[in-house]
Structure 1
Amino acid sequence: MIIDKQLFNVKGRKYIVRSAIKEDASDLSQLRVQVDGETENMDREKGEAFIDGVGFEQIIETDTESEKNLFLVAEIEDRIVGFSRCAGNDLKRFSHKVEFGVCVLKKYWGYGIGNNLLKESLSWADSNGIKKVTLNVLETNEKAINLYERYGFEIEGVLKNDRIHSDNEFYNTVIMGRFNK
């Protein structure tokens, strides 16, 4: 699905949130690898489950054509600095919901980029009959959990000892959902 481009100015930083296009594919591939290496909040370590430009082109094409998917990018001065996806499911029993994921380059944290990607995604979901948005978040990412709660997400469960990080410690994954009647 495609949304209209939105302009934001947060703390003097101007950026655009818009739908991803095929020309973004190579940049998205590089961005994903970089973000995975900047934080342990993501599911992957740097370079794991690599998606090349062709792979991102396919994802963008699928998401653009699907009424149940949304792929957004955040752009500052013609550079993609973050992205989010809502991925739906074609199975009838799950057709009412999408799963949300987001990532932003660490250099651009604090400018509301993740917040605005989420806000635009929820607006799209609410306008398109999506009843539930789900997500997974690392238990130690309190900033993200607080953001999601402000937008009506509730903790639905915890996957205990779900992941192991570079410190060889186990961490829990928090499952959150937002239901829109």
Structure 2
Amino acid sequence: MRIEKRDFTVNGLTYTIRSATEQDAGELSALRLQIDGETENLDREKGEDYIDEAGFSELIRADAASSRNLFLVAVAEGQIVAFSRCAGSPLKRFAHKVEFGVGVLQAFWGYGIGKHLLQESIAWADRTGVKKMTLHVLETNEKAIRLYERLGFEVEGVLKQDKLLSDGNYYNTIVMGRYRD
């Protein structure tokens, strides 16, 4: 599915949030690889589960055609600096929910990009009748957890000792959800 683009200005940075297009595929492939190397908040290390341009093109095409998926990008300074995705399931028992994921280049943290991507996704979910949004967040990502709570997400569970990070320690993954009647 697609949304109307929106412009935001935060702390002097102007950026646009819009639906991803197939023309974004190559840039998204490189962006995801860079983001994976900048933070341990995500599931992958740099280069793991690599998606090439053709893979992103197919993903964007499928998401645009699906009423249960939404793929957004944030564009600033002439480049894609972040993306988010809501992925639904084709299974009837899970047709009421989507899972949200987001990635923002580290140089663009602090401009509300992740928050605006999530808010646009929530608005889309509410408009299209999605009853539940879920997400996973590393326990150490306290800023993200507070944002999710402010936007109506609740802790639903903890996956204990779920993720091994570069310091050699295991960390919990927090499972959060937002349910709309």
TM range (shorter): over 0.9
Map of 1:146 onto structure 2: 146
Aligned length: 181
Instruction: Provide the TM-score with structure 1 as the length reference.
Output: 0.99
SS state at 1:167 partner: coil
RMSD across aligned positions (CA):
0.4
For 1:140 and 1:49, the matched residues in 2 are separated by 23
SS state at 2:36 partner: helix
Map of 1:71 onto structure 2: 71
Structure 1: 4+ residue segments shifted above 2 A? none
**Match runs of 1:84-163 below 5 Å:** 84-163=84-163
SS state at 2:129 partner: coil
**Any stretches of 5+ residues in structure 1 without a counterpart?**
none
Matching of residue 13 in structure 1 with residue 9 in structure 2: no
SS state at 1:171 partner: strand
Matching of residue 59 in structure 1 with residue 59 in structure 2: yes
Map of 1:170 onto structure 2: 170
Q: Which amino acid aligns with 1:104?
A: V
Deviation at 1:77, TM superposition (A): 2.5
SS state at 1:75 partner: strand
**Any stretches of 5+ residues in structure 2 without a counterpart?**
none
SS state at 1:36 partner: helix
Matching of residue 49 in structure 1 with residue 46 in structure 2: no
Q: Which amino acid aligns with 2:53?
A: G
Instruction: Provide the TM-score with structure 2 as the length reference.
Output: 0.99
For 1:15 and 1:101, the matched residues in 2 are separated by 19
For 1:150 and 1:172, the matched residues in 2 are separated by 21
